[in-house]
Chain A
Amino acid sequence: MTGPGAKGGPLLRASGITKFYGDRVGCRDIGFELWPGEVLAIVGESGSGKTTLLNCLATRVVPTAGVIEYRMRDGRMRDLHALSDAERRLLMRTDWGFVHQNPIDGLRMTVSAGGNVGERLMAVGERHYGHIRETATDWLGRVEIAADRVDDDPRSFSGGMRQRLQIARNLVTGPRLVFMDEPTGGLDVSVQARLLDLLRGLVADLGLSAIVVTHDLAVARLLSHRMLVMKGGEVIEEGLTDQVLDDPQAAYTQLLVSSILQV
């Protein structure tokens, strides 16, 4: 575990998070703490509110009610939705990452792989081309993209490569918290396994905290320490990932776990 927050308390604290779309419930009264180095999975079926919750947490959607506090690098807890736009955007491009399910949503498709990874560095003031390129190439290596692809744009990359590029682009500034929305969705299983293994290694090496939305319980088991199970916009069960999966308490969780196909 890294960072000054490790001993100082949770990195993120959500309480009473509620989001209505008109009369419809997106998510209702959700609260939890995320501590430094922890990976939290949010699982549930389509429409269970897990992506709404993720978007509220990542300040991409304003919740109808509730407070989300985040421990800034100076150690102070701040109400995320009370931050100024400038503070929030700085946080998003330095201290946070957001890995979209579809890499097209998270990459600049007409910009080279090196430029995609280097963008955050340039955004925080790096002005030495050689250093930017060196760092970008190093990160491509860490996500298993060959150095000679650094000048190719992601339109020429496979789905798995695009997703790995998106991860490198997010991690280059050493964020403390990464949000992931179905990071392995849309990839075939062998590509998924490689990506999961890579993510698992990076999260452990960098001491990252992460919030991962997935409907895939195997992904949750491999990546996360803890789990929230959502249904109808509410959290119906939570706990250690292996505990929830091996000894599920709620009827719905038991159904979910028993529905996993065995190979």
Chain B
Amino acid sequence: MKLPRLELFDVAKSFTLHLQGGLRLPVIANVSFAAAAGECVVLGGPSGAGKSSILKMVYGNYRCERGEILVHADTGTVDIVTAAPREIIELRRTTLGYVSQFLRVIPRVSTLDLVKEPLIEEGADEAAAEARAGELLAALNVPARLWRLPPATFSGGEQQRVNIARGFAAERPILLLDEPTASLDAANRDAVVRLIDEKKAAGTAIVGIFHDADVRDRVADVVVDVATFAAEMAA
């Protein structure tokens, strides 16, 4: 039995839309699963089942209504649900990595610097960070002539690959992947699968969402069907 890095117990989430007369939208309930070091847990289920919401709660991006989200970091266990903002910031800096579907573009920062940033945050030296960032960008077929440019003007696919490089650059014990392979061609999907395999081999616990059945089958150790967590619509 491998050590769990991440555990969810009875997690629930709903949205209250005050602008719609206080309409309450339940999303999911009773979510429980765990991800161990070196394991890739894939969240499955139809669109709208709440897969992204789960990842966002784990990352602290969405608030969690009920339950526990335990992150076993090197420095101790933190419950994301009750953690202070600065504890979550610290976890993001040291323990939690997150690759979203879209790159949130920061004006004027070069591609290489964007990919380097998480490594520098972890305390890597400039040269090592630059080398690693270059490796990742090359592996994802981002042409070297683009590295010095800010990605704001890149194509959607290029931006997505920069985003993936940035997410995989960090050596965080837990990696959350929200459809990283959407809109990628077969060659780049293969590159992402290779990167995931490397992370697993290095002992990273991964929780991911993959629409592409082929990728999902190649990386998943466990598939969690989110549809089983569907919350009952409140009165």
Tell me if chains A and B make direct contact, with any CB pair below 8 A: yes
The A interface is mostly helix, strand or loop, or mixed, namely helix
> In whole angstroms, how far apart are the Cα atoms of A225 and B91 in the complex?
13
Instruction: Name A26-49 residues within 8 Å CB distance of B.
Output: 35, 38
Asked, given contacts A225-B89, A254-B17, whether A193 binds B107 with beta carbons under 8 Å apart, the answer is yes
Interchain Cβ contacts within 8 Å, total number: 52
Instruction: Name B46-64 residues within 8 Å CB distance of A.
Output: 56, 60-63
**B233 at interface by CB-CB < 8 Å:** no
Residues of B near A83 (CB, < 8 A) are: none
**B2 at interface by CB-CB < 8 Å:** no
Residues of B near A196 (CB, < 8 A) are: 107
The B interface is mostly helix, strand or loop, or mixed, namely mixed
Closest A residue to B22 using CB positions: A251
Q: Is the CB of A246 within 8 A of B19?
A: no
Residues of B near A239 (CB, < 8 A) are: 63, 85
Q: Is the CB of A251 within 8 A of B18?
A: yes
Instruction: Name A192-251 residues within 8 Å CB distance of B.
Output: 193-194, 196-197, 200, 222, 225-226, 239-240, 242-243, 246-247, 249-251
Q: Is the CB of A250 within 8 A of B18?
A: yes
Q: Name the contact of B106 in the complex, choosing from A35, A197, A225 (C-beta under 8 A).
A: A197
Residues of A near B56 (CB, < 8 A) are: 246-247
**B108 at interface by CB-CB < 8 Å:** yes
**B16 at interface by CB-CB < 8 Å:** yes
A151-167 contact mask (Cβ, 8 Å, vs B): 1 or 0: 00000000000000000
Q: Is the CB of A226 within 8 A of B16?
A: no
Residues of B near A250 (CB, < 8 A) are: 18
Asked, given contacts A193-B108, A250-B18, whether A35 binds B61 with beta carbons under 8 Å apart, the answer is no
> In whole angstroms, how far apart are the Cα atoms of A251 and B21 in the complex?
10
Q: Is the CB of A226 within 8 A of B85?
A: yes
Residues of A near B106 (CB, < 8 A) are: 197, 200, 222
> In whole angstroms, how far apart are the Cα atoms of A196 and B109 in the complex?
12
Residues of A near B18 (CB, < 8 A) are: 250-251, 254-255
Closest B residue to A248 using CB positions: B18
Instruction: Name B19-64 residues within 8 Å CB distance of A.
Output: 19, 56, 60-63
Asked, given contacts A35-B86, A193-B108, A197-B109, whether A243 binds B19 with beta carbons under 8 Å apart, the answer is no
Residues of B near A258 (CB, < 8 A) are: 19
**B112 at interface by CB-CB < 8 Å:** no
Q: Is the CB of A242 within 8 A of B61?
A: yes
Q: Is the CB of A247 within 8 A of B89?
A: no
Q: Is the CB of A243 within 8 A of B60?
A: yes
**B196 at interface by CB-CB < 8 Å:** no
Given A225-B89, A239-B85, 8 other A-B residues pairs in contact with their CB atoms under 8 A: A35-B86, A197-B107, A200-B106, A243-B61, A243-B63, A246-B56, A249-B16, A251-B19
Interface residues of A (CB under 8 A from B): 35, 38, 193-194, 196-197, 200, 222, 225-226, 239-240, 242-243, 246-247, 249-251, 254-255, 258
Interface residues of B (CB under 8 A from A): 15-19, 56, 60-63, 85-86, 88-89, 106-109
17 example contacts (A-B, Cβ-Cβ < 8 A) are as follows A38-B89, A194-B107, A194-B108, A196-B107, A197-B106, A197-B107, A197-B108, A197-B109, A225-B86, A239-B63, A240-B89, A242-B61, A243-B63, A243-B85, A249-B63, A255-B19, A258-B19
